[in-house]
Amino acid sequence: MTKKIVLVGAGSAQFGLGTLGDIFNSPVMRGSEITLLDINEKALKSVEDRAQAFLTRHKLDYRVSSSMDRTKAFQDADFIIISIEVGDRFRLWEEDWKVPLQYGVNQVYGENGGAGGVFHALRIIPPILEICRDAVNICPEAHIFCYSNPMTAITTTVHRAFPGIKFTGLCHEIASLERYLPSILKMPFDQMDLSSGGLNHFSCLLTARDKKTGRDLYPEIMEKAPRFFAVEPGYSDFWDYYNKTGKLIQTEGAKERADLGLDKSAYSWADRKLFKFIMETYGLLPITVDSHFGEYMSWAWEVADHRGIIDFFDFYKKALSEEAEPEIKLETRERIVPIMEGISTDSGYLEAAVNVPNRGLIKDLPDWIAVEVPGTINASGVKGKALGELPKGFAALLRNYTGTYDLTAEAVLTGKKDYVVQALLANPVVNKALPLKDLVGRMISQQHQWLGYLK
């Protein structure tokens, strides 16, 4: 089925080559035209050359081209997939995280939530709005999918700027359930009927049933999950285990994972302390695989595994810097290809997690906020599934953060620095007031290349 697919940010070998492999593996998308778009000419050419060589070697029916001209690339596009970041990712992330600490603002990660998440959003949203503006003008019927973070802030702002745009945020965190629930329940994943929802990186598993019997699986999950996420006996934490063994932490579910043919180190990075607290206090299992969940709550600072968080950040930065050049592989890893197939064939299947405007999907939250819910995929695109009312305690946590997203969107769209200060004052993670104007001024000065539009 011939379609035109544009990969925005394809100069990144991880995204470009990885996504090409996913697409090339699809029999439904055979014959499609794929345009690689990036601002880095050298990186873009490298990805294109490797793609062309792969197509020739495997005799695959796809056409691949590259461009640095968005206007040209977007002509007649059916699908646009965005995965971009601005600047030096880890240097800016560390600034987002650590500069607020100097002003007395504690935060768990500072990538998607807290003060750092606000500054990250203020940098990344403007270029994504420019991409969407061109898409609306050149290919208004194109379906746009975005992998960039902070996803809720991006998706909320894009839909506020361009009502009616076919823009969906996609996050792979939902895949965590497939990686650890089979081990916890000793049951094949395809036998589970699951439903999750909330805000991106702030979602929980809401229901779990056995497809064959209809049995409620949640009590068993709550009983067994704490043990599954426990640190291997004899080691104090991740770093202790890693230094002594050179491996990622194994949990007590390691043997079960091995028996099921799963990655033995799957989700060693889960913040066990925070997971345990959420499960005991709210009776819910977060679907994130690390400490992202703690970015949105002030008290998470007290509960979170700070040693594990720092270890993860250092390990992640080191791993990416030393990672071998990726190869194109004919396998489906990300959910974007099944979604494009579902739209192209009008399949009507249910995707486990999409980020779309609420509009009543979660009754406890305002209509304008982008929520993470299951979504039906058919010829018209992505349609979120209504979840109704959430458990009250969890809903209260989500509502606490929506004001920050509202004011962040207004700061981007108006360029008003006052809205940035107000977004921080509304942020439940921020427990200071007097230093915030100075903090905002410092961050605008330090990251002026991206935040200089704020006045």
**pLDDT value for 232:** 56
Domain count, the chain: 1
Contact 351, 338 (CB under 8 A): yes
Answer whether residue 150 shows pLDDT above 80.
Answer: yes
Would 425 be classed as within a structural domain?
Answer: no
Over residues 161-165, the mean pLDDT reads 98
d(CA 346, CA 378): 4
> Using CA atoms, how far apart are residues 122 and 158, in angstroms rounded to an integer?
13
Sign of the Cα torsion 363, 365, 369, 374 reads negative
In-domain check, residue 243: yes
pLDDT band (50, 70, 90) for residue 179: confident
- Confidence class for position 180, pLDDT limits 50, 70, 90: confident
- Give 243's contacts (C-beta < 8 A, 6+ positions apart): none
pLDDT in tens, 306-360: 877 887 788 778 777 766 678 999 998 889 999 999 999 999 999 999 999 999 9
Tell which wins on pLDDT, 93 or 249.
93
pLDDT at 55 (0 to 100): 97
- Rounded Cα distance between 11 and 47, Å, is 6
CB within 8 Å of 261: residues ≥ 6 apart: none
pLDDT score of 233 more than 70? no
Q: Is it the case that residue 14 has pLDDT exceeding 70? A: yes
pLDDT of residue 291: 81
Tens of pLDDT, residue by residue over 271-281, are 778 888 999 99
Q: Which amino acid is at 350?
A: L
Which pLDDT value is given to residue 326?
87
User: Would 367 be classed as within a structural domain?
Assistant: no
> Is residue 337, in this structure, part of any structural domain at all?
no
pLDDT of res. 307 = 77
Nearest alpha carbon to residue 428 among 106, 15, 17, 150 = 106
Q: What is the pLDDT of residues 24-81, one digit of tens each?
A: 999 999 999 999 999 999 999 999 999 999 999 999 999 999 999 999 999 999 999 9
Question: What pLDDT is recorded for position 265?
Answer: 39
Indicate which residues carry an active-site annotation: 172
| Per-residue pLDDT tens digits for 110-148 | 899 999 999 999 999 999 999 999 999 999 999 999 999
Residue 62 placed within a domain: no
pLDDT for res 306: 84
**Tell me: the pLDDT tens digits for 397-443?**
999 999 999 999 999 999 999 999 999 999 999 999 999 999 999 99
pLDDT above 60 for 152: yes
Task: Report whether pLDDT(266) > 70.
Answer: no
Domain boundaries, position 298 = 174-322
pLDDT tier at 183, thresholds 50, 70, 90: confident
Bridge-based pairing of strands 381-384 and 202-210 is unpaired
- Mean confidence (pLDDT) of the chain: 91
Phi then psi dihedrals of residue 194, to 5 deg: -120, 150
- Does residue 22 form part of some domain? no
Cis peptide before 374 (omega within 30 of 0): no
Does the pLDDT value for residue 251 go beyond 90? no
Range with the poorest average pLDDT among 173-177, 184-188, 283-287, 314-318: 314-318
In a domain, 25, yes or no: no
Binning pLDDT at 50, 70 and 90, where does residue 109 land? confident
Does residue 105 form part of some domain? no
Tens digit of pLDDT for each residue in 364-389? Answer: 999 999 999 999 999 999 999 999 99
Higher pLDDT, 361 or 179: 361
